[in-house]
Homo-oligomer: A and B are copies of this chain.
Amino acid sequence: MTLLEYISEKQSWMNKHLLDTIEKQKIPEHLKNSMIYSVEAGGKRLRPILLMATYEAFRPLSEHVIPAACAIEMIHTYSLIHDDLPAMDDDDFRRGKPTNHKQFGEGTAILAGDGLLTAAFYVISSSPLLNAEEKIFLIRELSKASGPEGMVAGQMLDLQAEKKSIDLSELEHIHLLKTGELIRFSVRAGAYLGGAAPPQLEQMDHYGKALGMIFQIQDDILDVVGNKDEIGKPVGSDESSEKSTFPKLLGLAGANEKKKHYMNKAREALKQADITHPLLYEFIDFSGNRNY
């Protein structure tokens, strides 16, 4: 099975579980609609699918991955809802659809984000598919990766960076936090649940970190060279703002070089972890070469 076939198959499995998870909770209708609207807004589910592929590198896939996979996507979705708000990035469209606050109003969008974030921890802590040790590992690492030392820190620094020029190391630091930490957690969670030995977990951590950078650099590159219909937002929307990006700081060729550097690092980490499963290698090429 190629990675694209794997992604397409796992997307529908993931969508079903994500919707079930939210549907079965007793949530006021308007709030539930708003949460589901953003969860259904056509996300690629790359983070949960990365978790599954990593798990499969260690043992056959099972429903064991569901709670962590759902929790990651709920947290990713909340972060997009809050990030799109007028006080943050002020975006009217995401993936070709009106953003949550455009569709439901700002107050509801804030609450939908808060609700998805909080429910992510409920999904893990209340699951019958995980033992106590697994629940605590996942909650501790997820709350750190997505909290004020992780993703939220990255969003804060990103917001501040809009008003000033930053250098390459600052840009890398922001992205390691803002997008990298959750991608890194997806890999760590998959490896841990799959039963990776501690030295393997450490190498997988390097893989996850590198993958996060590849994603972000490619995002920046696509904003310069991509096709609006495929990426779902106006091309050049970063360029027209004051925002620092990899192509702006390094040029397009330099950004591509940087991306290749991280692609090599990611491959090296997989080799060090004795991973032979092809999906995780394909993930590197997919992340670096995708055109949407």
Residue numbers of A with Cβ under 8 A of B are 25-28, 30-32, 35, 78, 82, 85-88, 101, 105-111, 113-119, 121-122, 125-126, 132-133, 135-136, 139-140, 143-144, 146-149, 152-153, 155-157, 159-160
Contact = CB atoms under 8 A, between A and B. Distances in A.
B117 A144 contact: no
Contacts of A32: 148
Contacts of A110: 82, 85, 87-88, 110
Specify the main secondary structure of chain A where it touches its partner: helix
Given A107-B88, A143-B119, A143-B121, A30 B156 contact: yes
A31 B156 CA distance: 7
A152 B87 contact: no
A119 B139 contact: no
A32 B140 CA distance: 20
A253 to B, nearest CB: 32
Contacts of A101: 87
A23 to B, nearest CB: 12
A136 B135 CA distance: 8
Nearest to A78: B114
Contacts of A149: 25-27
A109 B121 CA distance: 22
Contacts of A117: 114, 117-118
B106 A87 contact: yes
A107 B159 contact: yes
A108 B126 CA distance: 31
A144 B88 CA distance: 28
A26 B116 CA distance: 25
The 5 A-B residue pairs with the shortest CB-CB distance in the complex, in nearest-first order: A115-B148, A87-B106, A118-B147, A122-B143, A125-B140
